[in-house]
Amino acid sequence: MAATSNGNNSEPKHVKMLVIGSGPAGLSAALYGARAQLEPVVLSGQELGGQVSITHIVENYPGFPEGIGGPELTDLFKKQAERFGATVEFDTATEVDFSKRPYRVKSYGGEYLADTVVISTGASPRNLEIPGEKEFTGRGVSYCGTCDGFFFKGKDVIVVGGGDSAMEEGTFLTRFANKVTVVHRRDELRASAILEQRAKDNPKIDFIWDTVVQSINGNGDGTVDSVLLKNVNDGQESEFATDGVFIFIGHLPNTEIFRGQLDMDPAGYLLINRYMETNVPGVYAAGEVADPHFRQVITSAGMGAAAAIQATRFLENEE
């Protein structure tokens, strides 16, 4: 089926499975739901494919030894789900009501009544909101050391942040990078003691304290070559040469419309059990919306498949 738009229909559309979000988790759920003949409808959100769609190249997804572009991988996921009968709507969910079944989901394009719902709205990395950040994303600016560290073999990079993620990813990056410089706005880290000590003991890691990144600068070939730093105490600015900027200042799960409907942890991630089940029967969550830990294409895809399998069994048990 081709991607379509529901249009502003006054009559709600009844579906067996509604997938909210179109990243690896959502499209994998759609694939498994479609193969179980649930004819899933996917609300793509603002960006088909989620974060992976803006990843320049994915080298750690099995089956692609030479790597594959993020947009290409997204397109393949989508085509495979559609081949078995999934429908992808370029639409965004705006409101949900999980108080009774079928569950009611409103979107910009219309309204749905869903027997089961798979939520895969993902999480968005916090941005520095500085000049050059957006322009050089995928060309020297990254939010995932595990994904992109390999591209910086023998190069110098900076890590922005002072929490557990920054220390974990910074330490991981030393496997590839020649030098990792941690830039932190305070004079001490927020990371746990063991991660902090591990980073400080690593001869490849340096620290620049009480400093923020003002802008990210590039050279003629469209890649990063330096950053502008500013000391927060004396206001002094300086240019710092680097080949890459890894930003680890946290993620924001895209769960705002589910507040008051589903259980969340203090950071806003949806709480699920090992079967991807939320606290509402027939409502599942998969991918980064419920996973602040792994945040990989393959783990998200696996969670999406598991959610759809559980949704299928849930409907079979009802019958």
**Residues classed as catalytic:** 144, 147-148
The answer to whether the beta carbons of residues 33 and 312 sit under 8 Å apart is: yes
CA angle 248, 254, 257 (to 5 degrees): 155
Closest CA to 152 of 183, 126, 123, 178: 178
- Name the DSSP class of 305: H
- Residue with tokens 């990371």, as numbered in its chain: 191
Give me the half-sphere count of Cα atoms (radius 13 Å) on the Cβ side of residue 313: 10
* Dihedral sign computed on CA atoms, order 316, 121, 65, 75: positive
Phi and psi angles of residue 28, each rounded to the nearest 5 degrees, phi first: -70, -40
CA angle 15, 78, 8 (to 5 degrees): 45
The answer to whether the beta carbons of residues 244 and 158 sit under 8 Å apart is: yes
- Residue with tokens 């969910």, as numbered in its chain: 93
